Every structure is written in C-alpha cells, then in structure tokens.
Homo-oligomer: A and B are copies of this chain.
Amino acid sequence: MSHISIKDIAQELGISTTSVSLVLNGKEKEGRVSKKLADKIRKKAKEMNYEPNTLARSLRMGKSNIIGLIVADISNPFFANMSFHIQEYAEKYGYSVIIANTNESDLKMENMVNILKNRQVDGFIIVPTESGNEQINDLLKRKIPVVLIDRYFSGINVSHVTVNNYLASKGATNYLIDQGCKNIAFMLYNNQLGHMKERKRGYLDTLKDAGLFNPQLIKEINHLAVDQDVESAVTDLFSLGNKIDGIFFAAGAISLSGIKCLINKQIKIPDEIRVVCFDKSEVFDFMQIPIPYIQQPVMEMGETAVEILIKQIKKEIADPLLVEIPAELHSEF
C-alpha cells in the first residue's frame, strides 16, 4: 500500500475511522474509547507506519497551522537570521513556517502571497517589497492576518514590528556630531517605505537641531544599482565645497558598498571620514578599524511578530498592533 490512511487502520481492525481518529488525536477520553481498543489502535498505527495527511486535516478543520513568511531577500544575513528566529519561535506554538523569497520583486511578492494564500496559510509575516502594498490590502480585505516586519507602508493600517528607526537614526547622527563631524552625509534607498522615511526624518531633525543641515548631503540610492549609485554619490559628496567628514549609511547593503568604495578611493576611516552604519555585518569583524553600527534586535523582532500574528489568528486581538523596538548603537570598542 503506497500510503496508509486512517481508513486502512480501521479496516484492518474491523472498526470505524472515528475511533481511530479519536485515539490518534489523543481524544480517547472525550471520545469514550476503551483503553483496550485505544491500545490496539495505537499499536496497529505504529505497525502500519501510519502518518497523518495534514492536507486533509487542514481542509476539514479550516486551518493549516502554517505561517507564510515572505522575505524580500533571503540572502541578506539580516533577513536570513530573522527567518531563523521566526521559524524557531513559531514552532513552539505549534506552527510551521513556509519561507518564500521575493528577491525584492513586486511581481514575485504577488505570486508568493497568492500561492501561500491558496494553500490556506493561517497568516503572514511579511518583509514587503517596495510596492507590495496592494497585496497587503488584498490580504486585509480577505481578513487574513498579516504582520509586517522591518518595513511598512505609512498609508496602510496593518500590524507591524520595526525598530524605532527615528530614534536610532537620531542616535547615529548624534554620534557623528559628538565625534566632531560638521558635514555629515546621509545615504538611503530611494523608496517610499516607512522605515526609510523615518530614518531620514531622524537624520534631518538632528542635523537641523545642530544647525548643520545641507540638502546636498543627502544621497538616494537605487537598490537595483547600489554599487554604481554609491560610487557616484561618494564622488559627488567629496566634490562639495565643504569637505564632508562623516557619512551615515542608512541600510546594510549601502554600508558595505560605501565602505568598499571608500577603501578603493583610499579615503581613510576614521581619520579622513567617520562613518556609521545601519545593521551589523560580518565584514566589520575583518576590518582594521572598528565600524560603529546600529544593531537591530533581530530575534526580539521576529518573536514579537510571531506573537502578534498568532494572537490575530486566534482572534485574541482585532486591531492592528504597531510595535517599535529600540535599536542599539554599537560604538564602543
């Protein structure tokens, strides 16, 4: 027999599938199955190598106990790590996690959301792509629980957990000011996602408060051409009248590209220029000089997202929950 079902066990034992189901789900008490029969069923099930068909169960019960995790870039260690913690934590609650990678493509995000939705996942945790908002809206319309993580859309009223980007950004900028920098550049992605806006706001407010603001110091990077854009941004910045003495890189990949660029141009960190980065990278461990960075509490973020999502799934909460977790600036070495 290719695959053993509950029916096969029942047949073999000459009993009903009800009893088998009851026992195999540990409901023998409520189901009033005799200990004798229960034991017989368990024995036979083991003997026949029975494995339940979760598809059928989910279909019948109307829930799959699966969480769909949609990540914009799984090869980014930050997200890979986050995925790991999410999976780990969700399992404790009896949920398994399906990871899908959108590679920053809106179209792929649409596909993956649809595929998972049609597979009846109970809810989604999503690191959305830049224009993934309609997909999110569709999910909300269908009353499917969603939690965004790391990124969010300012216009949509949906649960999200992020770091406190504004404060983190202020902290990083202030750090550079404290180090004596007067012309502090800021490099960020040119997208409209909420977290980027917040990081920018943090930088702007701090610089304005300090009377150091200059619009030429802000450089936007296209995520499809990070290396080129960063390269020309750096060249631009160094041709300004007031020589820049600090750069705040507002995202992981921009940081790496930026530092690589500075090294190539033989611009010495921190003598000629000071930097501070959003997100830690393994690369920092291998540099001669320490690189200050903002570290996002990736585990806490992941676990919070899982908790919120599960509460939504179980209908313990109805309204969207917006959680901001403080991020730490690592600058002491």
Residues of A within 8 A of B (CB): 2-3, 51-56, 58-59, 64, 66, 74-77, 80-81, 83-84, 87-88, 91, 96-101, 103, 111-112, 114-115, 117-120, 142-143, 256, 259-260, 263, 281-283, 285-287
Contact = CB atoms under 8 A, between A and B. Distances in A.
* Interface of chain A: mostly helix, strand, loop or mixed: helix
Given A100-B87, A101-B84, A51 B114 contact: yes
A114 B81 CA distance: 23
A172 to B, nearest CB: 21
Contacts of A97: 100
Given A120-B55, A283-B283, A286-B286, A96 B115 contact: yes
7 contacts: A54-B118, A55-B58, A55-B64, A84-B101, A282-B282, A283-B285, A286-B286
Nearest to A51: B118
Contacts of A83: 74, 101
A56 B111 CA distance: 19
Contacts of A260: 285-286
Contacts of A76: 80
- How many copies of this kind of chain does the complex include? 2
A240 B115 CA distance: 59
Contacts of A118: 51-54
Given A53-B59, A55-B59, A260-B285, 17 more contacts: A51-B114, A51-B117, A55-B119, A55-B120, A74-B74, A75-B80, A75-B81, A75-B84, A76-B80, A84-B101, A88-B103, A96-B100, A96-B112, A99-B101, A263-B286, A281-B282, A283-B285
Contacts of A2: 143
Given A58-B55, A120-B54, A260-B286, A98 B98 contact: yes
A69 B58 CA distance: 21
A119 B74 contact: no
A111 B286 CA distance: 36
Contacts of A74: 74, 80, 83-84, 99
A77 to B, nearest CB: 6
Given A75-B77, A84-B103, A99-B99, A54 B119 contact: yes
Nearest to A81: B75
Nearest to A57: B118
Contacts of A256: 282, 286
Contacts of A51: 114, 117-118
Nearest to A2: B143
Contact of A101 (B52, B87, B114): B87
A285 B83 CA distance: 26
Nearest to A87: B101
A311 to B, nearest CB: 19
A143 B84 CA distance: 30
A171 to B, nearest CB: 25
A316 to B, nearest CB: 19
Contacts of A59: 53, 55-56, 59
A117 B50 CA distance: 12
